[in-house]
A and B are shown apart, each in its own frame.
Chain A
Amino acid sequence: MTVIILLLAASISVSAIFLAGFIWCVRHKQYDDEFSPPVRILFDDKPKA
């Protein structure tokens, strides 16, 4: 049954990585402005006409 312990450790560390990622996102203001980023990514630079 030691495999379960291994799996547990793996699953918790994976979710901990996601939690860390989430905190990193919040800290980098990704939740402050929910309008601009999804729009911004669609703008492309056209060459001058």
Chain B
Amino acid sequence: MATTHDSALKCAHCGEDCTDHSFRIESLAFCCAGCKTVYQLLNQQGLCAYYELNEQPGATLKVAVRKDKFAFLDDDAIARQLINFRDDGQTRICFYLPHIHCSSCLYLLENLRKLQEGVLSSRVDFARKEVTIAFDHRIVSLRRIAELLTETGYEPYISLAAMKGAKPGVDRSLIYRLGVAGFCFANIMLMSFPEYLGLESADRSLQGMFRWLNFMLSLPVFLYSAYPFYASAWKGLRHRFLNIDAPIALAVAITFGRSVYEVVTGTGSGYFDSMTGIVFFMLAGKVAQDKTYRQLAFDRDYTSWFPVAVSVLKDEQEVPVALPAVQPGDTMLIHHGELIPADGILTRGAGLIDYSFVTGESAPVEKEMGELVYAGGRQQGANIEVLVTREVAQSYLTQLWNQDAQRKKSDKDKDSFVHLLSQFFTWIVFSIAGVTALYWSFVDASVIWNAVTAILIVACPCALLLSGTFTNGNILRILGRNRFYLRDAQAIEDIAQIDHIVFDKTGTLTAVQDTDVQFEGAILTLKQEQRIAELAAQSNHPLTRIMASRLPRKSDLRVAGYREHTGLGIEGFVNGVLVQLGSLRFVSGVAPGQGIATRVYVAYDRRPVGYYTFVNRYRDGVADLATRLQKKYPLSLVSGDNNSEAHRVRALLGNKAELLFQQQPADKLHHIQSLQEQGRSVMMIGDGLNDAGALQQSHVGIALAEDTNNFTPASDAILEAKQLPLLDRFIQLCKANRRIIIASFCLSILYNLIGIYFAVQGLLSPMIAAILMPSSSLSILLITYGSSQLAAWRLKL
């Protein structure tokens, strides 16, 4: 939304609009005291290059972090499970910092030792968004380190999952294999040149040496580099399935076998160059495709959401306790904005719990003392105390999760069309080989072995695999550049095949933070609205906070006699006029009927004038997206929310769309299942834990995230929320992927036909093979890259 602020002043630290102009240092403006403090701190230490490297690199510090948030790090038992290493003089810890995003972050974080005495060194792993800090624990505590990071805007994310210890290391074996294959391939090519160019008879002794050297050099490729293909082929065969790696493994083995035979018997130079070449190119394709996004996790469980520790009250003292150690009977103290990690009974305070992540219900739920609260909700407002009734591992949320996790994707084993093509291809090659063998057995039996092996060598489906892996790799990269991250290449094909799209509402079509305020009732003057807004700004209740931010404000108003009636509403004299906000009973004394939407009633000067309702705003561009998608796909909506917005959704998704409200997580899953039973390939787009089951069940589950650093449910793809309007173009690109692969496959068949033309006659010389193979590989590489770039360019991605 284009707002016309009185000035477009941006905070020098974080780049947010400066609504308050009181935070200034010379010519620089800041949005809040926190940002200003960070600037001063960095300025003192001569670290202002932070601001020179990138514009406004910081994170906003408007929302203050609770002072004792990291108190649990003082607890030795908890700390010991988080740190990587400790000896007498130093401790090393690795923190995950979601805000890391640019070179300024790198600069600041690696200069931490200048900001805090006792920090010995710090090193950033940019790809993983992690920083490893070594510090002297005699000088500075772990808690202080976490607080320092938080103060500078890099709040570490410490979840229960971090406590489970060792993270899987990076798998580098493919890069080693590629390096070895490249080394051997290049040397073999070098030593094959004399053979191509023809040797004089005087150099026969050299020829033998070249051949044996080639043999030696091909061994590591055959035994080590090509191993992934054997493993995959063997795995496929064990499951009685001929995948694309099977003919490749066969071709590599036959090429190697025939070459060794030729060298040993002295009849020829073999095809070592071709063999190592295709292994090298195929590995390069695999590396390009497997270059996944390490900082994104697609398989997450509930432990990624849960905090490491929670404050437990023991003898009136707040003690941080590690989550697994929380027992039924403990009393947890939940602060504003914290997640309730275990089911329990509310024993003190007014609960206002946001379950949007678990249930999809957008409005926070009010809970009174004595009521049951379930794990997974976030408390809004004042602190509450909760008496734990169930252990963390047995809470409702955890069980919901486990129940979903057991559901396996039954139809996920279906073959990729590349595999189907390769099967088809393999049978044709075998039949050509059979016919050739039959022909030569009548004409000249001595040529059989020569011709048949040559066919199998030349008709290796490596070009098909190459076109598949390179196209997929490039498409994944293009999508990733557009903040749409797919789990693997299979997801591209799955997306191309979907024929039904199911949306979640809250957090998917609508933005959770973006709420519009609408007033129903008597017409208010601007002055009246300003006074209502001023009163609303006094309270911490989430609804009044939204009102305060959406309604027009004027700073010279005075509020006197402000009173808050828990569970009812607020009142106060704004410039002498009594304004009351709250429930219908509070404002007018009338008992409330059955309200469907969340409302805040207003009494102005003791007279009820109407009420405010809160509607989620639909994301920008979603309406256009829905219009475009309607034409091509049936759409559905499954929402955990009530149906108060049914007419708006209907207008959005069209008349044919199927709308389901008040859906429990299990209902959503069953809905997907029933669509699948009708033979549909379903794409589910959701954001919360309540969608987790449906995301797993669907053919393609896309988890929407405001920020891809946030934690999302397990899914096939993660899409940044801002990019949702591009969804239809992403689908088109995935469809283009299939066409590109088929086109380049046809081209590779052309190469194969040329090769087979020589091979069936028993005339395939190493020279022809050596020209044909790399040139087909290279041209496929160029064509797949070029056409996928072209497709993306035409779709403006």
Which residues from chain A sit less than 8 Å from chain B, CB to CB? 1, 4-5, 8, 11-12, 15-16, 18-19, 22-23, 26-27, 29, 31-36, 39-40, 43, 46-49
CB distance from A35 to the nearest CB of B (A): 4
Instruction: Find chain A residues with CB under 8 A from B183 CB.
Output: 15-16, 18-19, 22
Is B394 an interface residue when CB atoms closer than 8 A count as contact? no
Chain A proximity of B72: nearest CB distance (Å): 30
B 42-72 binary contact with A (CB < 8 Å = 1; else 0): 0101101100000000000000000000000
Given contacts A4-B206, A31-B172, A43-B110, A26 and B179 within 8 Å (CB-CB): yes
Inter-chain contact A46/B46, CB cutoff 8 Å = yes
Determine whether the beta carbon of A19 is less than 8 Å from that of B127.
no
* Contact pick for A35, options B127, B172, B191, CB 8 Å: B127
Q: Which of B188-204 contact A (CB under 8 A)?
A: 190-191, 203
A43 proximity list for chain B (CB < 8 A): 49, 106-107, 110
A18 proximity list for chain B (CB < 8 A): 183
B746 at the A interface (CB under 8 A):
no
Q: Which residues of B from 81 to 131 have beta carbons under 8 Å from A?
A: 103, 106-107, 110, 124-128
Interface: B591 (CB within 8 A): no
8 Å CB contact of B125 from A1, A26, A32, A47: A32
Alpha-carbon gap, A48 to B103, bound state (A):
21
Q: How far is the CB of A6 from chain B (nearest CB, A)?
A: 13
Minimum CB distance partner of B180 in chain A:
A19
- A47→B47 CA distance, assembly (Å): 10
B-side contacts of A48, CB under 8 Å: 45-46
Residues of B near A26 (CB, < 8 A) are 172, 175-176, 179
Contact A33 B213 (CB under 8 A): no
25 A–B contact pairs at CB < 8 A? A1-B206, A5-B209, A8-B191, A12-B187, A19-B180, A26-B172, A26-B175, A29-B170, A31-B172, A31-B175, A32-B172, A33-B126, A33-B127, A34-B127, A35-B106, A36-B124, A36-B125, A39-B106, A40-B106, A43-B49, A43-B110, A46-B46, A48-B45, A48-B46, A49-B46
B-side residues, CB < 8 A to A, are 43, 45-46, 48-49, 103, 106-107, 110, 124-128, 170, 172, 175-176, 179-180, 183, 186-187, 190-191, 203, 206, 209, 213
Inter-chain CA distance A49–B179, complex, in Å, is 47
In angstroms, Cα B130 to Cα A35, docked, is 13
Total residue contacts A-B, CB cutoff 8 A: 62
Going nearest first, the 3 A-B pairs with the smallest beta carbon separation are: A35-B126, A48-B46, A19-B183
Q: Which residue of A lies closest to B209 (CB)?
A: A5
CA distance A23 to B110 in the complex (A): 27
A19 to B49, CA, bound (A): 38
Contact (Cβ within 8 A) A8 B213: yes
Question: From DSSP, what is the main secondary structure of chain B's interface residues?
Answer: helix
In the complex, which residue of chain B has the Cβ closest to the Cβ of A37? B126
Question: Please, how many angstroms separate the alpha-carbon atoms of A26 and B175 in the complex?
Answer: 8
Residue of A nearest to B213 (CB): A8
User: Which chain A residues lie closer than 8 Å to B127 at the CB level?
Assistant: 32-35
CB-CB under 8 A from A49, the residues of chain B are 43, 46, 48
Shortest beta-carbon distance from B613 to chain A in Å: 47
Residues of A within 8 A of B209 (CB): 5
Determine if B106 and A36 form an interchain contact, defined as CB atoms under 8 angstroms apart. yes
CB distance from B102 to the nearest CB of A (A): 9
A11 and B107 contact, CB distance less than 8 A: no
Q: Point out the residues of chain A lying under 8 angstroms from B48, CB to CB.
A: 49
**Cβ–Cβ contact A23 & B179, under 8 A:** yes
Contact B110 A40 (CB under 8 A): yes
User: In the complex, how many angstroms separate the beta carbon of A30 from the nearest chain B beta carbon?
Assistant: 10
- What separation, in Å, do the CA atoms of A8 and B180 have in the docked complex? 18
Residue in A closest to B103 when the chains form the complex, CB atoms: A39
Contacts of B187 in A (CB 8 A): 11-12, 15
How distant is the Cα of A32 from the Cα of B49 in the complex, in angstroms? 26
- Chain A residues with CB under 8 A of B110: 40, 43
Q: Give the residue among B103, B206, B209 with the most A Cβ atoms within 10 A.
A: B103
Residues of A within 8 A of B180 (CB): 19
Distance in Å from the Cβ of A28 to the closest Cβ of chain B?
11
Give the Cβ gap from B42 to chain A, nearest Cβ, in Å: 11
Q: A32-B125, A39-B103 are in contact. List 10 more A-B contacts (CB 8 A).
A: A19-B183, A26-B175, A35-B126, A35-B127, A36-B124, A36-B126, A39-B106, A43-B110, A49-B43, A49-B48
Shortest CB-to-CB span from B605 to chain A, Å, is 58
Q: Which of A11, A29, A31, A46 contacts B190 (CB 8 A)?
A: A11
- Closest chain A residue, CB of each to CB of B216: A12
Contacts of B49 in A (CB 8 A): 43, 46
Closest partner residue, chain B, to A39 (CB atom) = B103
Q: In the complex the two chains form, is A33's CB within 8 Å of B46's CB? A: no
- Residue with the greatest number of chain A CB neighbours at <10 A, chosen from B106, B126, B127, B186: B126
Q: A22 with B126: in contact, given A12-B187, A46-B46, A46-B49 (CB under 8 Å)?
A: no
Contact A32 B170 (CB under 8 A): yes
The residue on B at minimum CB distance from A5 is: B209
Chain B residue at minimum C-beta to C-beta distance from A11: B190
Give the CA-CA distance A33 to B128 in the complex, in Å. Answer: 8
Alpha-carbon separation in the docked complex, A12 to B172 (Å): 25
Taking a contact as CB atoms closer than 8 A, the residue among B124, B179, B203 that contacts A22 in the complex is B179
